[in-house]
């Protein structure tokens, strides 16, 4: 390096000091990005800040730096953006459950659509559709019909994990759970305070509300062990806290209609129903039942034995003998069965947040379905899997969103694909 280069580098270092953990920066938030953080730029770095709103001017504390990216926490709101509102929950900012309470609801919806667009561009490497409609939640508070509560037996705390930690916040009231679950939480807290034997032993509780009460696991009373039911889009589903069921029941009718909107309205064509469908990650049969009213043969696949038992019962109770459910990890089932099945008319999948497991997309392609409906709760893993499906010969027809998770950055997405001929 020449003396002139050394002098120039020294001057650049003096103008732009090295940023490190503990530094406090003032930033202007530009937009919300996948993961829910606000994005800003300072000192030549891209800075990500949770709990921010577009247009905020913030003082932030740098937590770590990786290359030209800094991850920071909010230290002070210098000037709030126009879309910032006052979070009503006293635990907001500490609780790891909600990260969008600082945003006006219309801003939450807009941010979620942009998150989907960003993932499609960056991860799937495709141009997003010109329009991505998003269905708002009928209730933006008191909408969650399912909850998981942590019990810290050392400190006798009951609630949720703190943001980015496994410390348990003691939560007396949660503004996003339905009233029946709030009553259950209050009853459970009373039991924990009294140090009852069952509550003291448990480290985690699962609760789900149906039309006819709440199922709690592990139970505190005999009533908690009973299965519950919910009617969705005209179908009755039984379930309990041991298996997954969607959390925002008020949006499920619309979600099912969108997923199956091109599969007929359930009326049988002349000569009866025709064709076949496969429902991967079928759970207790949310999509399996309406699919069985539209297709001659339907196969559901689910790894959770409790869920598959309910799915079989739900089909039986509905009088749908043309549907069957197999208990198996989806990837393993596809590896075993995909090459032995005739091409199916429709493949529907509704995987967990991690998306399709390794190798599963290859198995789906081996089935050669005419159409694919991908229901996702994570735009990033959806985009990852779409990239592979599109490379395998499918065209993306449409993308629509459903705000199943108000006050959080999470969003439900329905992507429809057809096989390129």
Kindly give the confidence (pLDDT) of every residue in the chain, 421 residues in length, as a single tens digit, with 9 standing for 90 and above.
444 434 434 433 445 568 999 999 999 999 999 999 999 999 999 999 999 999 999 999 999 999 999 999 999 999 999 999 999 999 999 999 999 999 999 999 999 999 999 999 999 999 999 999 999 999 999 999 999 999 998 888 999 999 889 999 999 999 999 999 999 999 999 887 665 544 455 689 999 999 999 999 999 888 888 899 999 999 999 999 989 899 999 999 999 999 999 886 444 433 346 799 999 999 999 999 999 999 999 999 999 999 999 999 999 999 999 999 999 999 999 998 866 677 799 999 999 999 999 999 999 999 999 999 999 999 999 999 999 999 999 999 999 999 999 999 999 999 999 999 7
Cα separation, 110 vs 116, whole angstroms: 10
Class of domain 109-139+249-419: alpha beta
Active site residue: 89, 95, 243, 377, which one?
A: 377
| pLDDT score of 330 | 96
CA dihedral 40, 78, 175, 151 (to 10 degrees): 80
Closest among 286, 278, 180 to 232, alpha carbons compared: 286
The residues that bridge with 210 in the sheet, in sequence order, are: 213
CA distances in angstroms from 116 to 123, 127, 235, listed in the order given: 10, 11, 30
Q: Is 243 a catalytic residue?
A: no
Residues 6+ apart with CB under 8 A from 406: 100, 105, 108, 137, 139, 140, 141, 143, 176
- Determine which helix (DSSP H) or strand (DSSP E) holds 290, and give its type and residue range: helix 288-292
CA distances in angstroms from 93 to 12, 27, 90, 255, listed in the order given: 37, 19, 9, 30
The residues that bridge with 59 in the sheet, in sequence order, are: 26, 76
Question: Is residue 290 within 8 Å of 320, Cβ to Cβ?
Answer: no
Q: How many helices (H) and strands (E) does the chain have?
A: 10, 21
Cα separation, 3 vs 7, whole angstroms: 6
Question: Is residue 376 within 8 Å of 355, Cβ to Cβ?
Answer: yes
Closest among 399, 393, 398 to 419, alpha carbons compared: 393
Please work out, in degrees rounded to the nearest 5, the angle formed at the alpha carbon of residue 352 by the alpha carbons of 89 and 371: 125
Residues 6+ apart with CB under 8 A from 212: 228, 229
Question: Is residue 281 within 8 Å of 352, Cβ to Cβ?
Answer: yes
Please work out, in degrees rounded to the nearest 5, the angle formed at the alpha carbon of residue 143 by the alpha carbons of 139 and 146: 165
Class of domain 3-84: mainly beta
- Determine which helix (DSSP H) or strand (DSSP E) holds 46, and give its type and residue range: strand 45-49
- Order across the sheet with 45-49: list the strands: 24-28, 57-66, 69-79, 45-49, 38-42, 31-32
Q: Do domains 3-84 and 109-139+249-419 have the same CATH topology?
A: no
Q: Following DSSP, what letter does each residue of 127-153 receive, concatenated?
A: PPPS---EEPPS-SSS-B-EEEEEEET
The residues that bridge with 348 in the sheet, in sequence order, are: 279, 373
- Determine which helix (DSSP H) or strand (DSSP E) holds 334, and give its type and residue range: helix 330-337
Class of domain 146-230: mainly beta
| pLDDT score of 270 | 35
- CA dihedral for 285, 289, 290, 291, sign (positive or negative): positive
CA distances in angstroms from 325 to 98, 200, 294, listed in the order given: 35, 37, 16
Cα separation, 337 vs 341, whole angstroms: 6
Question: Is residue 24 within 8 Å of 60, Cβ to Cβ?
Answer: yes
- Size of the chain, expressed as the number of residues it contains: 421
Could you state, in order of their start, the residue ranges of all structural domains in the chain?
3-84, 109-139+249-419, 146-230
The residues that bridge with 152 in the sheet, in sequence order, are: 157
- Determine which helix (DSSP H) or strand (DSSP E) holds 388, and give its type and residue range: helix 379-391
Question: Is residue 144 within 8 Å of 247, Cβ to Cβ?
Answer: yes
């Amino acid at each position: 390096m020449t003396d002139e280069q050394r002098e120039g580098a020294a001057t650049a270092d003096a103008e732009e000091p090295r940023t490190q953990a503990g530094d406090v920066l003032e930033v202007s938030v530009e937009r919300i990005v996948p993961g829910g953080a606000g994005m800003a730029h300072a000192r030549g770095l891209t800075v990500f800040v949770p709990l921010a709103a577009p247009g905020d001017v913030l003082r932030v504390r740098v937590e770590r730096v990786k290359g030209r990216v800094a991850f920071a926490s909010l230290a002070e709101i210098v000037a709030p953006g126009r879309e910032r509102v006052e979070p009503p929950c006293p635990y907001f900012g500490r609780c790891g459950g909600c990260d969008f309470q600082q945003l006006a609801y219309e801003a939450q919806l807009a941010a979620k659509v942009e998150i989907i667009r960003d993932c499609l561009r960056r991860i799937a490497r495709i141009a997003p559709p010109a329009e991505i409609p998003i269905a708002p939640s009928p209730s933006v508070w008191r909408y969650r019909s399912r909850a998981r509560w942590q019990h810290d037996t050392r400190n006798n705390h009951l609630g949720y994990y703190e943001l980015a930690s496994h410390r348990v916040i003691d939560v007396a009231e949660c503004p996003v759970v339905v009233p029946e679950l709030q009553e259950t939480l209050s009853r459970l807290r009373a039991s924990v305070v009294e140090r009852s034997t069952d509550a003291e032993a448990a480290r985690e509780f699962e609760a789900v509300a149906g039309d006819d009460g709440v199922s709690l696991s592990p139970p505190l009373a005999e009533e908690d062990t009973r299965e519950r039911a919910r009617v969705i889009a005209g179908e009755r589903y039984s379930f309990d806290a041991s298996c997954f069921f969607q959390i925002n029941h008020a949006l499920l009718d619309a979600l099912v209609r969108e997923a199956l909107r091109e599969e007929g309205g359930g009326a049988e064509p002349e000569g009866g129903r025709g064709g076949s469908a496969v429902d991967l990650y079928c759970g207790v049969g949310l999509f399996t039942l309406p699919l069985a009213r539209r297709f001659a043969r339907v196969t559901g696949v689910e790894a959770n034995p409790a869920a598959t038992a309910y799915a079989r019962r739900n089909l039986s109770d509905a009088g749908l003998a043309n549907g069957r459910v197999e208990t198996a990890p989806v990837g393993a089932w596809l590896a075993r069965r995909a090459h032995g099945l005739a091409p199916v008319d429709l493949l529907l999948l509704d995987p967990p947040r991690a998306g399709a497991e390794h190798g599963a997309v290859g198995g789906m392609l081996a089935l050669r379905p005419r159409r694919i409906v991908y229901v996702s709760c994570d735009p990033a893993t959806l985009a990852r899997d779409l990239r592979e499906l599109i490379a395998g010969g499918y065209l993306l027809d449409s993308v629509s969103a459903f705000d199943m998770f108000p006050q959080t950055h999470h969003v439900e997405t329905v992507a429809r694909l057809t096989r390129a001929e």
